[in-house]
Structure 1
Amino acid sequence: MMDIRKEIENRYEEMQAVRRHMHKYPELSFQETNTKAYIYEQIKDLPLEIERDVGGNGLRAELHVNDDFKTVALRADFDALPITEENDVAYKSEIDGIMHACGHDAHTAMLITTAKILCAHKDTLPVNVVFIFQHAEEQLPGGAISMVEAGVLNGVDYVYGIHVSSKYPTGMLGYNYGYKHAAADSFHFKVMGRGGHGAEPHVANDPVVAAASLIQQLQTIVSRTVDPLKSAVVTAAMFNAGSAFNIIPNNADISGTVRTFDKEVQDKVITRMEGIRRGIEESFALECELEYVKGYPAVLNSDELVDMLLEATEGKTEFISSVEEVELSMGGEDFAYYLEKVPGVFFNIGTMNKELETDYPHHHPKFDIDEAGMQAGVEAYLRLITNFREV
């Protein structure tokens, strides 16, 4: 029987070193050339069937145990963000303007460590395991969709993924039944009028006034179109128009984001936006264009597989401090593409430690993690795999 505490403790410093190396040398989405090579070096000598450059910069590594067994995939992303790091740590990013401000370095370190431990216990496992190392989660269209199209889930029956969280205390496992993350869309309105002198608005056709009306009408979508028992967010986050106080511009631009869980709600929001666009054109006698881009779909967990995760982590655990149901997130996550193909679960591991100042929000220039939380993530994976049963 696997001694989980001993296995994780024996590899903790190695896992920490992997995470810190990745933190020092981050790469942006779709540019992860050195990162993918580093990951390959970490796993190349393990008894894995490794595919490189899957769907771009991704890697797929399969631990095949038995033809008659089900196959479970575990996924980690490894891209960074265009943020200048402000932490004063030995492993601070050495790449100007780029840092791991979301924990993807930890995700990869945990998965590499999990792979090494499971490979050492291959003959005792009840399932085959596929390790998915995914590029480009942070930037549309995301790496997951291209990896799925390239066959990363071929032969896979179930999929699980972890995201560290600075909202939850170190070692806490946070789960959700049903929806976990919202669909993350973007929109852009271009209002095209006719410019002129600020003192003579009657001979111009002011796009600023029309755009202001448009923004006000957007605020009615959630309050007057969406079922109040369902969730939606419509945020106009950018308004650009004009160059001087006394000049009416030709155009005004509005950009923002829409977050929904339910596909029907998403369709209603889009329909209302199109209606508002037509109304602005008719009311103000100008042109108005709408570009709506659907981002990542909503992340929908399988309730049966959540139950399996909870069963695997119930009772005495070594590094998992607690197991708690957590709030939904309106943030986007391209793990959704895996869940559209096979059932699975996306869950959190807490890395927040106020004494270590690892309570800054994700995407903040001072974001960091309590690395002890990585032990809980590996434990969750090990308990899940070694106790897996067929659904």
Structure 2
Amino acid sequence: MSLKEQLFEKLREKESRMIEIRRYLHQHPELSFYETETAKYIADFYEGKGLDVQVEINIGGEHGVIVTIDSGKPGKTLAIRADFDALPIKEETGLSFASENEGVMHACGHDGHTAYMLVLAETLAEMKDQLNGKIKVLHQPAEETPPGGAVGMIKAGCLEGIDNVVGIHVMSTFPFGKILYREGEVQSARSFFKLTIEGKGGHGSSPHEANDAIVAGSYFVTMLQTVISRRINPFDMGVVTVGSFDAKGMFNVIKDKVVLDGDVRAMSEGARSIIDAEIKKICEGLEAAFSVNCVLEYTTDYPVLYNDPAFTRQVAEILKNSQMDNVDSVEVTPPLPPSEDFAYYAEKVPSTFIYVGAQVEGKPAYPHHHPKFDINEKSLLVCAEAMGSIVVDYLNKG
């Protein structure tokens, strides 16, 4: 029996434990940067198992956990990453193991990421004498909230000595049985802004005596759409969304101030920089045209997630040549609009981020960050086998 077959056999025997861990974590979600108990749970998992692994906790003053599995033999060092934070969402799944933390929910699958990674890491540690090189398991907090937990992990040195990094994300809207990958740009960069428009209030019967902040804000929303249609190359991806326009008041009173919150996505740093600059220009124009004052708070965070082409091809070839349970195909995915702080690792070290279909069979497929989000728990074993295949072939075959 090959090493990979031995690994798969062990993982299949432990599948029920993956599901049990996932359900426990799902019941006890914690928000980004507040994952104290989750980090402790992860660190405690590795204790007392005779695994001979190095466990570091509270990386960089945050709640990250790094586990080093050293084969004791020369070779490369591969980092494998799983995030574990939850979202400020009130769960509406009706699951028997629904969140017990009111208003907090694992609505993105990070509970599943952590569950499969714990069991996989335990199993790889049991088999480390048959491997070469080292494995660094990056249990990362705070993926959901800027500046993102990856930043703190990197500053604390988690990539020192690392040759490559691999991450997997379960996808509730992708068919179960598919693994997807993409070379190059795969997920978008992100910026967000808060714009406060300060005008001069007045009575609706005398608009000439006021500077209407609502009118100025409305022009801002309209002008914003021309940035994408008239400033961005049609073959490049850019999206600008105003998600909040706070202007509630009396029907006959002209507001003196409105506040708008918006989201920016782009699939290249060039496009994002154009959007950033154009939004600032529009604000300057509003001030001149409407005699208002614009206070713009603009934050640029997660970069474009770029999958190193050569490394991604290597990983895809490993997956295609692995006989995994419940995997029908390994395919190329189109670019994905959401952002992901795994991009920070990929900026520093050749990396790849792949996707495992986790659509629940026989039920509606709710998207990530939805109150009814759920995953097919069979996808946990797929994740473990996929990542395990990558680790074994990467370290032992080069």
Calculate the TM-score normalised by the size of structure 1. 0.96
Structure 2 segments unaligned to the other structure (5+ residues): none
Does the CA-based 8 Å contact 1:358-1:367 persist in structure 2? no
Does the CA-based 8 Å contact 2:29-2:104 persist in structure 1? yes
2:319 is aligned with 1:313: yes
CA RMSD between the two structures: 1.5
CA distance in 1, matches of 2:23, 2:170: 15
Does the CA-based 8 Å contact 2:73-2:133 persist in structure 1? no
Q: CA deviation at 1:167?
A: 1.5
Q: Which residue of structure 1 aligns with residue 58 of structure 2?
A: 53
Does the CA-based 8 Å contact 1:110-1:377 persist in structure 2? yes
**What secondary structure does 1:272 align onto?**
helix
Does the CA-based 8 Å contact 1:358-1:368 persist in structure 2? no
**What secondary structure does 1:334 align onto?**
coil
Q: 4+ residue stretches of structure 1 with deviation over 3 A?
A: none
2:14 is aligned with 1:11: yes
2:341 is aligned with 1:338: no
Calculate the TM-score normalised by the size of structure 2. 0.95
2:296 is aligned with 1:293: no
Paired-residue identity, %: 37
Does the CA-based 8 Å contact 1:191-1:288 persist in structure 2? yes
CA distance in 2, matches of 1:33, 1:85: 21
CA distance in 2, matches of 1:6, 1:358: 32
Structure 1 residues 132-147: aligned runs within 5 Å: 132-147=138-153
Q: Which residue of structure 2 aligns with residue 39 of structure 1?
A: 42
2:68 is aligned with 1:62: yes
**What secondary structure does 2:21 align onto?**
helix
Larger CA deviation: 40-49 vs 366-375: 40-49
Q: CA deviation at 1:5?
A: 3.4
Q: Which residue of structure 1 aligns with residue 121 of structure 2?
A: 115
Q: CA deviation at 1:316?
A: 5.3
Does the CA-based 8 Å contact 1:127-1:388 persist in structure 2? no
Q: Which residue of structure 1 aligns with residue 334 of structure 2?
A: 327
Structure 1 residues 158-307: aligned runs within 5 Å: 158-307=164-313
CA distance in 2, matches of 1:123, 1:216: 62
**What secondary structure does 1:352 align onto?**
coil
Does the CA-based 8 Å contact 1:313-1:380 persist in structure 2? yes
Does the CA-based 8 Å contact 1:126-1:388 persist in structure 2? no
**What secondary structure does 1:188 align onto?**
strand
CA distance in 2, matches of 1:168, 1:303: 23
Q: CA deviation at 1:174?
A: 1.0
How many pairs does the alignment contain? Answer: 390
**What secondary structure does 1:94 align onto?**
coil
2:83 is aligned with 1:77: yes
CA distance in 2, matches of 1:252, 1:32: 35
CA distance in 1, matches of 2:248, 2:85: 37
Larger CA deviation: 315-324 vs 9-18: 315-324
Does the CA-based 8 Å contact 2:93-2:372 persist in structure 1? yes
**What secondary structure does 1:275 align onto?**
helix
Does the CA-based 8 Å contact 2:322-2:389 persist in structure 1? no
Q: CA deviation at 1:67?
A: 5.8
CA distance in 2, matches of 1:242, 1:199: 18
Structure 1 segments unaligned to the other structure (5+ residues): none
